[in-house]
Amino acid sequence: MDSSLLHDWPEPVVSVQSIAESGATLIPNKYVKLAADRPTAPGSSAGRELSIPIIDLGKLAGGVVDCRAVIRAISDACRDWGFFQVVNHGVDMELVKAVLEVWREFFKLPMEEKKKLANSPRTYEGYGSRLGVEKDSSLDWGDYFFLHLLPHCIKNFDKWPTVPGACREITEEYGRQMVNLCETVMKVLSMSLGFNVGFLKEKFGGEEIEACMRVNYYPKCPQPELTLGLSAHSDPGGLTVLLADDRVPGLQVRKGNAWVTVNPIPGALIINVGDQIQVLSNATYKSVEHRAVVNEAEERLSIAFFYNPKSDLPLEPVKELITQERPQLYRAMTFNEYRLYIRKKGPSGKTQVESLKAM
């Protein structure tokens, strides 16, 4: 499907925040999930906490032994979990506090102010409340703000908030530090796969990589057992760095047949590999389904940063990872073509990457 066809939403967009603040005691039917997809379905977490690997990136600056240990730990995490938390990651913690605060202030603005920055399915940039353009589809209990950061030529400052006043400056600096962190992780992943440090970044387009950010706002929900803040999906891009709300857990990761809740460590960042890393590594590393649950007593805000390949660059498994025992699993596709799937259907498990399998 051509992105030029994604002009507008199929139905009027209603912000979830406005529903939550109306005093409604029941959620509208369009937010009610099928029984098998609800947080209370069999196999869900029921309060269990998942201890995904915790990795100290500060050890990369140590000796050879420490560096090898970090590479091995990240490799094991990407093989076994697809998710890990990093500490001593080099991102300024005062900046982390500032970016959370400035976006909390944005979501407290009057609704008419936020709606001036409403987005469309063409680029998603701006303030929104749904993913996917299929009419009458199930909706998620969450609002968001989506921003392009790289390349600079597609960044639309007309869609960036001017209030709070420091929002642009803080967000851009946060984006720069996220790019640096992702480039460090890409070097580690390259080495863990047996390549030189710049291998994966070069496969992503070198200095022409793309980056974007989604600020997620999950209002209080009167019936959290019936809905989700964000439906199950794997991320379509390369790497995702999540700045989670460590006061209110909400991220759930699929582990086997169960959904379990991740408990964010204060000061840590959560990293997961996306579908493009799965494709390039010929499924040596796999993207993992995850979702967000909501809360009756507390609102929640998180910030997801996405490090993606150059959008018009065809990606397929690297030839060095294709063997007779492990043939090529995926056909080539550009990221621009690939992400149209989620822009049309919204979050839909791992059906997207599965559809890319070579015949």
- Residue (of 145, 299, 119) closest to 222 by Cα position: 299
- Mean pLDDT, the chain, rounded, equals 91
pLDDT of residue 53: 94
Judge whether residue 74 has pLDDT over 80: yes
**For 259, how many CA atoms within 13 A lie in the half-sphere containing its CB?**
24
Q: Residue 295 and residue 134: Cα distance in Å, rounded?
A: 27
SS3 (DSSP) at 251: strand
Q: Output Rg (C-alpha) for the chain, integer angstroms.
A: 20
Q: Residue 342 and residue 353: Cα distance in Å, rounded?
A: 11
pLDDT of residue 46: 47
**Distances, alpha carbon 272 to alpha carbons 5, 100, 286, in Å:** 31, 20, 9
- Residue (of 148, 158, 143, 102) closest to 125 by Cα position: 148
- Residue (of 275, 288, 281) closest to 328 by Cα position: 281
Question: Which residue in this structure is represented by tokens 């390949």?
Answer: 309
Instruction: Judge contact between 288 and 353, C-beta under 8 A.
Output: no
Instruction: Judge contact between 228 and 292, C-beta under 8 A.
Output: yes
Judge whether residue 236 has pLDDT over 80: yes
pTM exceeding 0.75: yes
pLDDT of residue 44: 61
Judge whether residue 359 has pLDDT over 60: no
Per-position DSSP letters for 77-116, written without gaps between them: HHHHTSEEEEES----HHHHHHHHHHHHHHHTS-HHHHHT
Query: Sorting pLDDT into bands at 50, 70 and 90, what band is 42?
Result: low
DSSP, res 194 = T
DSSP, res 226 = G
357: left (phi over 0), alpha (psi -120 to 50) or beta: beta
Judge whether residue 355 has pLDDT over 90: no
Over residues 223-244, mean pLDDT: 96
> pLDDT digits over 190-208, tens only?
999 999 999 999 999 999 9
Judge whether residue 285 has pLDDT over 90: yes
Judge whether residue 250 has pLDDT over 80: yes
pLDDT of residue 84: 96
- Residue (of 211, 192, 190, 191) closest to 201 by Cα position: 190
Instruction: Judge contact between 122 and 209, C-beta under 8 A.
Output: no
Judge whether residue 47 has pLDDT over 50: no
Judge whether residue 343 has pLDDT over 80: no
DSSP, res 164 = S
pLDDT of residue 260: 80
Instruction: Output 1 or 171, whichever has higher pLDDT.
Output: 171
Output the CA angle 241-273-57, nearest 5 degrees: 60
Question: Which residue in this structure is represented by tokens 């140590």?
Answer: 62
Q: Residue 71 and residue 38: Cα distance in Å, rounded?
A: 37
Q: Residue 349 and residue 145: Cα distance in Å, rounded?
A: 22
- Residue (of 278, 258, 268) closest to 350 by Cα position: 278
Query: Sorting pLDDT into bands at 50, 70 and 90, what band is 133?
Result: confident
